[in-house]
Amino acid sequence: MGLWHSLAQQFRQPSGVVGRIAGLLFRINREGINWTITLLEIQPTDHVLEIGFGPGYGIQQVAKLAAQGLVAGVDFSETMLEQASRRNATAIASGKVELRLGDAAVLPYPDNSFHKVFATNVVYFWNDPLANLQEIRRVMKPGGRLALYVILKEDIGNFKVTQTGLYRLYTGEELAGLLTQAGFHDARFVAKTERHRTGVCALGEK
């Protein structure tokens, strides 16, 4: 296994010492996370789910907005679960935040649980994105909103780490099309240039 493939695997599922370092690199995602959260229009009593929460920055920000609701997160990296749990320890202890080890393909929640769901720089790694989106739709409340953030295919495709076969890259049109196929309505996307790259956020309602 080559260096770039190993690095891509760490971005996909951080583990061990290298995974903890990868968690620190997630700082570069903060601008995209903040923008995605604003597009969700989170209300104080909302129940919100983040898929692939990494070191827990997004969870922390959403917990401030949904102060009277519930913020949940699912990530399949034990290393990220540990980091995110430390970051959000007080909110977890108060019952406002719950973090679980899990996978988007089989979410550990009942039907109609969440008003808002989001994932940032995670969709690249889904083996079956359509099935995952249908599973996400299952746990959303009617009228709920989904936001999926990625870096535009044209901007990220030149990096060696994304050419390892572990990444599936998207345009805004492709992401919005997937949402429509999965049963979401009013599927659309918006784009934003940040630090010489373009971020895309696809949005859809249940």
Give me the mean pLDDT over the 177-190 stretch: 97
Q: pTM for this one?
A: 0.86
Q: Nearest Cα to 68, choosing from 84, 86, 44?
A: 44
Structural domain of 119: 3-205
> What is the pLDDT averaged over residues 101-114?
96
Q: CA angle, 152 as apex, 151 and 154 as ends, to 5°?
A: 130
Instruction: Tell me how far CA of residue 51 lies from CA of 55, 56, 64, 70, 74, in angstroms.
Output: 12, 11, 18, 14, 5
Task: Give 77-104 pLDDT, tens digit per residue.
Answer: 888 899 999 999 999 999 999 999 999 9
Q: What is the mean pLDDT of residues 105-130?
A: 95
| 3-class DSSP state of 110 | coil
Tokens encoding 125: 């790694």
Contact of 47 with 72, CB cutoff 8 Å:
yes
Please give the Cα distance from 129 to 133 (Å, whole number). Answer: 6
Looking at every residue in the chain, the average pLDDT score rounds to 85
Given a contact cutoff of 8 angstroms between Cβ atoms, the answer to whether 21 and 80 are in contact is no
Q: What is the pLDDT at residue 162?
A: 52
**CATH number of the CATH domain containing 61:** 3.40.50.150
Provide the domain count of the chain.
1
Residues of the chain with pLDDT > 70: what percent? Answer: 80
Angle between helix 30-40 and helix 57-65 axes, rounded to 10 deg: 30
